[in-house]
Amino acid sequence: MESVQIINLPVYTQSGHCLGRVVDLEINNESYQIQKILVKSSNPFKNLFQGCLIIDVNQIIFVSRKKILVKDILKEIKELASDPAS
């Protein structure tokens, strides 16, 4: 999938929460693979007080022509907090 096709795709978490839309990409200059996506919230009030979310490629579950699905970070943090040995 080309970067032009990824820009403006909506980004959702596993739990179905819409984080916003892709506004930019960070691409590795040597491998030409995506390293990070920059997501701007669809909520105008959030945009006033925070910048873009930066999502690492390791957090991306899949990319389709209609959306990008990413891991639920809060869920992972809660799991780590309940089992700090992992």
Backbone torsions φ then ψ of 4, nearest 5 degrees: -60, -35
Which residues have CB under 8 Å from 17's CB, separation 6+?
72
Look at residue 70 in the predicted model and tell me its pLDDT: 95
Rounded Cα gap, residues 86 and 68, in angstroms: 28
The architecture in CATH of the region 3-82 reads: Roll (2.30)
Predicted TM-score (pTM) of the model is 0.76
Look at residue 32 in the predicted model and tell me its pLDDT: 86
| In the chain, domain spans | 3-82
The answer to whether the CB of 58 falls within 8 A of the CB of 70 is: no
Q: What is the mean pLDDT of each run of 10 residues along the chain (86 residues)?
A: 79 91 92 91 65 90 94 67 60
Rounded Cα gap, residues 58 and 12, in angstroms: 15
Rounded Cα gap, residues 3 and 22, in angstroms: 10
